[in-house]
Amino acid sequence: MMRILPLLLPLLFIGCASTPSGPPLRTVDYVDLDRYLGRWYVIANIPYFLENGKVASYDTYTRLPDGKLGNDFTFRKGNFEATEKTWNGVGEIVNTETNAEWKIQFVWPISSTLLVLELDPDYQWAVVGTPNRKLLWVLARDRQITDETYSAILERIRAQGYNPNEIAKVPQPLE
């Protein structure tokens, strides 16, 4: 974990120096945490240096004994045969009325604010982003989603001020 600390330090400065562009993002009205917990495959994201080259990635959310959220990010570097690695993070709910605003921390003292921007009524897919619109993840319970669903998600995030051309699919193995 200490090897990634130098890589994460620039995020602290990016987070401090960045201001939201455009109107504030709209989160979902409410996130039922018990339904949200579990594995979410990364279908697409706005690429950035920490996730570049990662494939077969997914987040697993758990409730920790102290009430915080565990956020384990698992991935393979470069190809599906590479060794699976996991980074362990801890999250806190910032807005307990909606449960849609979180602070996630993988390395102390760096944390990021994440917003649940879109959420399928059946909790089959979700969109999570940062307030400054620099990072975004499309997540799903399955490794693949239909082209129709993906296109609809892109239209929803376009309405939130994101540029869909900045979003790239993350390779996932076929089921």
Strands 101-107 and 110-119: antiparallel
pLDDT, tens digit (0-9, with 9 covering 90-100), for 150-165: 999 999 999 999 999 9
- How does residue 175 score in pLDDT terms, banded at 50, 70 and 90? low
pTM: 0.86
Gap between the Cα atoms of 169 and 83, Å rounded = 21
- Least confident range from 11-25, 61-75, 115-129, 130-144: namely 11-25
Which is more confident, 110 or 114? 114
Is-contact 36 122, C-beta < 8 A? no
Domains of the chain: 2-17+24-169 (2.40.128.20)
